[in-house]
Amino acid sequence: MDPIELDPHTPEFLERRLDRYAELRSECPVVWNTAHGGFWLVTGYDEVLTVARDNDTFMHQYRPGAPDGVDYEGIIGYPRHPDVPAQGVSEVDGPDHQDLRRALNPVFSPAAVEASRQEMVAVATWFLDQIVASGSGDLVLDFASPVPAILTLRMMGLPVDNWRYYAEFFHATAAHPQTSPEFMAVMEHAPAMTGELFAHAQHRRAHPGDDLTSLLVGLERASGPLSDEEVTGVMWNLVAGGVDTTTSLVASALHHLGTHPGDRQRLVDDPARLPRAIDEFLRYFTPNESLTRTSSRDVDLGGCPVRKGDRLWISWIAANRDPAAFDRPDDVVLDRDPNPHLAFGLGGHRCIGMHLARVEAEVMLGEVLRRIPDYEIDPDGFAPYSPNMMMNGVLRMPATFTPGPRTGPAARPF
């Protein structure tokens, strides 16, 4: 297929990107796009799978001006905003990445996540208690946003009273295209936030505690301990992922269930179906829509000659809608099995928080379906993220429901 000229940040493309992905996927799942200096747009399931599995060839690292002459651009799209710091775990490759994962894996293991389930229940219960008696509330601003933010900040050892500051920042950066005025405006706060995380890393180096930041500052790698700058990058990565991704997943699921009463009733009647339904919500909505890579060598991908230094934009959501991999890909099928979706990525860089996200979503959706199962969404107040290539989520979702009693303690559990 001939090269295309497609600016992925334009409203014209973004509004119908899923249709355009489908067209490209059926014609050529790997195509050269001349926009923004040129990159390969990868939309087919098998081709995205190939890129995700081969971390040595398709590099995640953010390393402009590397010794091999390649400007490795990291994972967050083209063009990259100059104030975005390196994304910690996600933009490191090789032995340093392996050492980081080895240190963090026990914290995010299925057993560790399950041990924190009661804490998740307590926080979710408390926030739902704040609106349940009134019969109305915003399912994003009052629930889906604060719960993951509180849980993430507690894991990092950061002050939980500041949860709105982090939630609003990361939701805003995810909600708008990188070239939009809204994104540019909110990114003006990035240096200050980076400075706060840096200061917290320094504080934990002098006063370690029982939290993730303390683990990071004490980590020994083959190449030596993490600098405060490197700790800050990992913290940014973990906070961004923890604060926004689960919120986006839960909000999208709540909107679907609120507008598809048959699916909602099936989960109300049989909550044991929730884990499989959550995987289907992950496939269908794919909160992290895409990531970018840089090729470290010449390689053939789907019959296309990818050269060393070429950039690739891989679309998880396009792969998750590929009819070659999924029957009825454009429908939500709650009991889909098997469901080999790529919403968490694959290979050595598969999302480290995937078990945490699944259980948080199960707890949060379970609380809503148990306590306010008749919620009705205000369509005029519903505000999804502005269409963009990176993230898929919801900014606001006011709803009404039958009032109910508080079920948790009056004192907040955090």
pLDDT above 90 (res 78): no
pLDDT, tens digit, 9 for 90 and up, residues 124-151: 999 999 999 999 999 999 999 999 999 9
Does 157 fall in a domain? yes
Specify the pLDDT at position 197. 96
Amino acid symbol at 335: D
Q: pLDDT class for 204, splitting at 50, 70, 90?
A: very high
Q: How many domains does the chain have?
A: 1
86 pLDDT exceeds 90?
A: no
| 316 domain-assigned | yes
Asked whether residue 405 is domain-assigned, the answer is no
| Three-state secondary structure of 100-154 | HHHHHHHHHCHHHHHHCHHHHHHHHHHHHHHHHCCCEEECHHHHHCHHHHHHHHH
Q: For 45-50, which contacts have Cβ atoms below 8 Å and span 24 or more sequence positions?
A: 45/319, 45/320, 45/322, 45/324, 45/325, 45/326, 45/342, 46/302, 46/324, 46/325, 47/301, 47/302, 47/319, 48/314, 48/315, 48/316, 48/318, 48/319, 48/342, 49/319, 49/342, 49/346, 50/301, 50/302
Element (H, E) at 266: helix 261-269
Q: How far apart are CA 289 and CA 31, in angstroms?
A: 18
The answer to whether 158 and 243 have CB atoms below 8 angstroms apart is no
pLDDT > 90: percent of the chain: 89
**177: pLDDT confidence band, cut at 50, 70 and 90?**
confident
Give the CATH number of the domain where residue 144 resides: 1.10.630.10
Q: What SS3 class is residue 31? A: strand
**Domain assignment present for 33:** yes
Q: What is the pLDDT of residue 178?
A: 80
Instruction: Report yes or no on 410 lying in a domain.
Output: no
Q: What is the pLDDT of residues 15-33, one digit of tens each?
A: 999 999 999 999 999 999 9
Q: What is the pLDDT of residue 286?
A: 98
pLDDT greater than 90 at residue 119: yes
- Kindly state whether residue 269 falls inside one of the protein's structural domains: yes
In a domain, 118, yes or no: yes
Asked if the structure places residue 258 within a domain, the reply is yes
How many other CB atoms sit within 10 Å of the CB of residue 54?
17
User: 234, 374, 350: which is closest to 282 by C-alpha?
Assistant: 350
What digits encode the pLDDT tens for the residues 293-325? 999 999 999 999 999 999 999 999 999 999 999
Task: Write down the pTM of the prediction.
Answer: 0.96
Average pLDDT over residues 193-217: 96
Residues 6+ apart with CB under 8 A from 166: 149, 152, 153, 158, 193, 239, 243
Domain with 15, as residue range(s), is 11-400
